Amino acid sequence: MKIRFITALIGAVVISASLNAAPAKSEKHAAAAVQFRQAMLQLVRSNVGALGGMAKDQIPMNAATLEKNAMRIEQLSLMMDDYFSVDTRNFPVETDALPGVWEDYADFQSKIVALTTAANELKVAAQQGDESSYKAKIGAIFKSCKGCHDTYKAE
Ligand code: HEC
């Protein structure tokens, strides 16, 4: 009985966490989706600069900054599914998103999850003061950017 309840609960969480992609309803809708996702990614970018600098010893490691920026990246990554689930392929929008995003949306979602996971792990490490793992965890975030861009973003 208890197990069935927990299974149902996990099922509900999984369903609510993953949207299916659907075509944009109009050119205006598609343009807005592009604008939002690019703005969100610019905010992601604004939070990785310091992490890169720390990983390369250009600026001192700072646990408070690591925690704050990792938390922001985690939160921003949770918006990616919302904005990318609007399939903009049918409209003449200016985008670097490749058509593959919506050809295998489940795979694209798995790349989002990789970023969410990497950001969460850096946040937790910073909260715990686990200094020896900082560089590896920062590296995992950058790896997840590249892991998605290589397949789904035009140069
Ligand atoms: C799940 C896939 C995915 C992940 C993960 C991802 N990106 Fe992207 N990114 C994209 C796609 C697709 C575009 C093209 C969006 C468009 O032009 O509509 C993009 C575009 C961008 C842009 C340009 C936005 C603009 O103004 O046109 C920046 C900057 C960016 N990403 C930074 C990052 C950084 C930094 C990370 C890692 C912390 C990251 N991205 C992780 C898929 C991803």
Tell me which amino acid residue 5 is: F
Handedness of CA 66, 72, 75, 76 (dihedral sign): negative
pLDDT at residue 86 greater than cutoff 60: yes
Decide: 102 in ligand 1 pocket, CB within 6 A: no
The model's confidence at residue 7, banded by pLDDT at 50, 70 and 90, is low
User: Percentage of the chain surpassing pLDDT 90?
Assistant: 86
Q: 113 C-alpha vs ligand 1 centroid, how far in Å?
A: 14
pLDDT range class, residue 19, cuts 50, 70, 90: confident
Residues 11-30 have a mean pLDDT of 76
Predicted pLDDT at 155: 85
Q: What pLDDT is recorded for position 15?
A: 45
Specify whether the CB–CB gap between 109 and 18 falls below 8 A.
yes
Mean local confidence (pLDDT), 53-72: 97
- The whole-number average pLDDT for the span 11-32 is 78
72 Cβ below 6 A of ligand 1: no
Average pLDDT of the segment spanning 78-98? 96
Distance 128 CA to ligand 1 centre (A): 29
Given a cut of 60, is residue 32 above it in pLDDT?
Answer: yes
- Positive or negative torsion for Cα 67, 69, 70, 74: positive
Residue type at position 142: F
Q: What is the mean pLDDT of residues 52-62?
A: 97
